[in-house]
Structure 1
Amino acid sequence: MSSVSISDLVAVRARHPEAIAEAAAVRVRRPLVGESGRLMIVAADHPARGALGVGDRKLAMAHRGQLLERLVLALSRPGVDGVLATADILEDLLLLGALENKIVMGSMNRGGLAGAAFELDDRFTGYRAQDIERLRFDAGKALLRIDYDDPGSLATLHSTARAVDEMAARRLPVFVEPFISRRDADGTVRNDLGPEAIARSIAIASGLGGTSAYTWLKIPVAGNPDEMEWVCETSTLPVVLLGGETNGDQEGAYEKWRTALRMPTVRGLVVGRSLLYPADGDVAAAVDTAVGLL
């Protein structure tokens, strides 16, 4: 991995903050979906939610220089289409010149901080539709966790619907990541990864807003291949698979992704920590393997 100079980035931010908008204005863009019809997006929007851990390393993503080095390397690999992140990270990547001819996806709601009492009242504290349009970025992403016992979920549901409308009005794609969630006895939010819950979340997310023309879904792999097949039949919206934690079983995760990518609605992968922080430390090999699945 090539080294990233934090001091250089800080100097530009301090002396010439306009450089960010200038870099965005001249960035070379590309269509959302290329000739392959597939998408391989690297995700790095976890830190803004206070989620810095990878496996048993609680602060793995806290070192910004190392995170940027891993992102620059991942984006340089053949077949990687783009990145999903919050403003601070995307702006660093802009200044580093790493976003040329890449899909840039802005993370929109980051207010539901990990472990907070208000976690499910997930406010849109990140990118707005007008920000994504102004910066000439390519898409947005919204997390939609629905807990039937938490009134905060209704606020998130409503604000996500309005974000779908605002993005569609600008003809910008928005990737909605829905879950049916619940709190454990200790207050920890858990996402239900069973096929029935995923199918229900897909049905809810697909109906948000005044049009679904620009809506994509970002969903986990459900159960076995037969279950995943009928889960994907819940909607005709294009789907990307989220990576999530592999719990040390990287090969098992690859096999699940490989099988799910055969489903007709599945168009690609959005994977973060398991590629940026693989157990063996080889980011390039992990990214190349994931690209190979497409």
Structure 2
Amino acid sequence: MHNERIKSTIDRLSQDNEQIFAALAAGQSGSYADLYQVDLSGRNLPQVDLRQATLIRANLSQTDFAGANFAQADLRGASLDRSKLKDANLTGACLARVDLSGADLTGADLTDAKLQGVRYDRHTTFPDNFNYKSSGAIGPGARLNGAQLNTANLRYIDLQDASLLGAYLGGADLTGANLQGARLSQSDLRRAFLTGVCLRNAGLNAANLAGADLRAADLTDIEFDRLESIAGADFSHVRGLTDEMRSRLLNYPPSELETYNSFTRNTTGASLEI
């Protein structure tokens, strides 16, 4: 009964961020509470109890959650960037599509936590011995072979040296992303937005670039023996494309070179002309 009373108290305050913070900071339990889209950013809430709470799309950026209990909490789409989660309990928590850029998870318990689509960067600190690169999370060095990332919002994501062999990235927005050294062989990049992307030293053998927007991309030292398709791809203003590489691309069949990009309305052949 006591837990149910606390739960009801927090839920009734669910539209008032200040009252929610005050209640939690005073030691009231937020377990089972419905805190959909709550904004607790920049707060200090160490040791807070949010077991099995609903925190979908919550703004928890830059908040101190050291030692907090998020066991089995639903955090889908939440922002936890630059948050302090040292020694936090995240067992069984759903972290799908959560932003953990710059977060400190030193000593956190991530047993059975679901990390598919989590964003991390080179400033994120994971617990020792936690294999985050193979967890389904997205960031530098991630192993995402065959990952289903169609239409994903990956703008400015850091995927340097990531393995994306055979990954499905059709329609994904990778504008300004860092894919330096990434392995993208046999990946599906049809109609992907690759504007300004860094693909230095990336491997693209047998990748499908049909309809991709590669305007102003950095293609320095990319590796490709043969692309599955470039029909409708727009290479306008790309950097690092050697004369030999350009010549190879211009030798693709006219049926591909004469295809218009549905977004830029430019043909592949015209985009490759200097």
- So what's the TM-score if we normalise by structure 2? 0.24
Q: Which has the higher contact order (CA 8 A, sep 6+)?
A: 1
More helix by share: 1
- So what's the TM-score if we normalise by structure 1? 0.23
Larger-Rg structure: 2
